[in-house]
Amino acid sequence: MASITVPNPLPSPEQDAQTLRKAFQGWGTDEKAIIGILGHRKAAQRAAISETYARLYNESLLQRLHSELSGDFRGAVMLWTADPAERDAKLAYKALKKKDDRHVWVIIELACASSSDHLMAVRKAYHSLFSSSIEEDIAFKFSETNLLRQLLVRLVSSYRYDGEHVDEEMAKYEAAELHDDIRKSQPRHAEVIRIISTRNKVQLKETLKHYEQNFGKAIDEDINNQGSSQLFSMLKAIVWCLTSPERHFAEVIRSSILGLGTDEASLTRSIVSRAEIDMKKIKEEYKKRYRTTLNDDVIGDTSGYYKSFLLALVGSADS
């Protein structure tokens, strides 16, 4: 359900590298040429272009982009062009260095909306880039008594089964466990953490289906009814990222656009990280929930080459 379009026939990495080189030379940078190439290539294709560019011109494509571009446009292009695992490792590292906890969304998205193989690749990249593990840095950020510490460490350490097998009896049993724990005035949370952090996504979807069928409300409704504590807010995001990430990212994008000023960091991260995964589903969810298109909101709230690049990744409103 990727949203980007790739030309057919596809130019070779050598041709793309040469076109980019020309875009960097002469009087001013040809930003349209950069968008025309990088905004319409998949991850493996971008990697091939970066390798070819370095071989042909003895310089890093990312470093050259950094020197040629500026502002939010530069940030978006560089995130998109970077190796996805290294990109997400750097985003996680930056989030964990922030003082306030709202940046924990980045860790939740990484741990819960990624495939197990991608999460493993990010953990390896994190260790290589920063000489520490993401688990260590999460544990360092939160106190021992903070339940988020245990929950996030478990989430980023998980390698979930990726098959389609579902245990119906277990789903019914764990739906009841979740229900009892969430609706208690002083929940134990241990069962919630165990189930959320270990079960594969197909199994978890079945569990949440039984939750709603047996207890009359979806789990996110019950979570909302428990108040606005940080833990319950994060728990809802975790459930959505695991079972229907399009709901989470539609909400993040909408929140980044509404209000005074745009949260460009959240907007860029959401579009860049999902353009090759499920952006079409996010656009459908966005239109259903907000009675407008994601494309229209991007057009109305961004400008210049930054807007053009995001729209290239988002694709047309009809696709």
The structure tokens 């939160």 sit at: 142
CB-based burial, 290-316: b 16+ in 10 Å, e otherwise: beebbbebbeebbeebbbbbbbbbbbe
Residue 28 among known ligand-binding residues = yes
Q: Is the dihedral of CA 289, 291, 296, 300 positive or negative?
A: negative
Give CA separation, 50 vs 21, 58, 63, in Å: 11, 11, 11
Burial of 125 (0-12, 13-18, 19+ CB in 10 A): buried
Q: Which two tokens stand for residue 17?
A: 């590298």
Peptide bond into 7 cis (omega under 30): no
In the chain, how long is the greatest CA-to-CA distance?
Answer: 68
Residue 73 among known ligand-binding residues = no
Residue 182 among known ligand-binding residues = no
Report the chain's terminal Cα–Cα distance, integer Å. Answer: 10
- Cβ atoms of 173 and 210 within 8 Å: the answer is no
- Cβ atoms of 30 and 22 within 8 Å: the answer is yes
The span from the CA of 301 to the CA of 306, in Å, is 11
Residue 257 among known ligand-binding residues = yes
The span from the CA of 149 to the CA of 160, in Å, is 20
The structure tokens 């996110």 sit at: 220
Residue 35 among known ligand-binding residues = no
The span from the CA of 119 to the CA of 142, in Å, is 21
Would you list which residues are annotated within the binding site for Ca(2+)?
Answer: 24, 26, 28, 68, 257, 261, 301-302
Would you list which residues are annotated within the binding site?
Answer: 24, 26, 28, 68, 257, 261, 301-302
